[in-house]
C-alpha cells in the first residue's frame, strides 16, 4: 500500500493522492478507485467482452445514489441480462445504483427538441447534446 501524503478533491470527492508506480492498485482504499476506474469504463468493458465473447457492451447512464448523479457510463450484460460493470468501483455506490441503457434518443439541452443521436446538424458539446449549431451558440449566450 502506498503512503497517502496528501489529499485532493476531484469533482467534490476527497481522494487520496495516486500511490507510487508498482503499488498494487487492486488493494488500494475504495475511494482512490475513482482515479483508477474513472474514464476507463468503455476500455474495461471491452476487455471483459474479449474474455466473454457472448456478453454485450452497453452504453448509457449510471445513476449513483451516493453522488445523486447521472453519469455517462459503459458496462457489459451477460446472456441473462445481468450487469457486469468492471469499473463500478469508480462510483462510491460501487454498482449498486441504477443502470439505464441509452436508447440513442437525445434531447436538446437548449430548446428541448428530441432527436436521434448523430442527426445531421446536431452537436455534442461536453455533457450537452444540442439539436443544432444555433442552439449550441444560444446555450453559451452567443446567439
Q: Is the dihedral of CA 119, 120, 123, 124 positive or negative?
A: positive
10 makes contact with Zn ion (CB under 5 A): no
Among 110, 122, 123, 129, binds Zn ion (CB under 5 A): 110
| Closest CB to Zn ion among residues 32, 122 | 122
140 is a site residue for Zn ion (CB under 5 A): no
Count how many residues are written for the chain.
143
Handedness of CA 82, 80, 41, 72 (dihedral sign): negative
| Separation of alpha carbons 22 and 129, rounded Å | 40
Rounded distance between C-alpha atoms, residue 17 and residue 20, angstroms: 9
CA distance between the termini of the chain: 53
Q: Which stretch binds Zn ion (CB under 5 A): 3-11, 58-66, 77-85, 123-131?
A: 123-131
Interface residue with Zn ion, options 15, 108, 123, 139 (CB under 5 A): 108
Asked if 111 is part of the footprint of Zn ion (rule: CB under 5 A), the reply reads yes
All cell numbers assigned to 131? 439539436
Stretch that binds Zn ion, among 20-28, 31-39, 93-101, 113-121 (CB under 5 A): 113-121
Residue nearer to Zn ion on the CB measure, 44 or 136: 136
- Residue 135 binds Zn ion, judged by CB under 5 A: yes
Q: Which stretch binds Zn ion (CB under 5 A): 52-60, 82-90, 105-113, 115-123?
A: 105-113
Applying CB under 5 A, what is the total number of residues that bind Zn ion? 6
Question: What span, in angstroms and rounded, lies between the C-alpha atoms of 118 and 24?
Answer: 41
Q: How far apart are CA 143 and CA 138, in angstroms?
A: 5
Task: Please give the residue ranges that form the binding site for Zn ion (CB under 5 A).
Answer: 108, 110-111, 113, 131, 135
Amino acid at each position: 500500500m502506498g503512503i497517502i501524503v496528501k489529499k485532493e478533491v476531484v469533482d467534490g470527492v476527497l481522494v487520496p493522492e495516486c500511490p507510487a508506480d508498482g503499488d498494487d492498485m487492486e488493494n488500494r482504499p475504495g475511494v482512490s478507485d475513482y482515479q483508477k476506474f474513472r474514464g476507463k469504463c468503455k476500455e474495461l468493458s471491452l476487455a471483459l467482452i474479449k474474455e466473454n465473447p457472448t456478453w454485450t457492451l452497453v452504453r448509457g447512464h449510471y445513476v449513483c445514489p451516493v453522488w445523486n448523479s447521472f453519469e455517462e457510463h459503459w458496462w457489459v450484460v451477460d446472456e441473462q441480462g445481468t450487469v457486469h460493470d468492471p469499473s463500478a468501483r469508480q462510483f462510491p455506490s460501487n454498482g449498486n445504483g441504477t443502470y439505464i441503457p441509452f436508447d440513442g434518443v437525445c434531447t436538446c439541452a437548449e430548446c428541448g427538441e428530441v432527436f436521434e443521436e448523430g442527426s445531421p446538424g446536431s452537436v455534442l458539446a461536453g455533457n450537452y447534446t444540442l439539436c443544432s449549431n444555433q442552439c449550441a451558440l444560444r446555450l453559451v449566450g452567443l446567439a
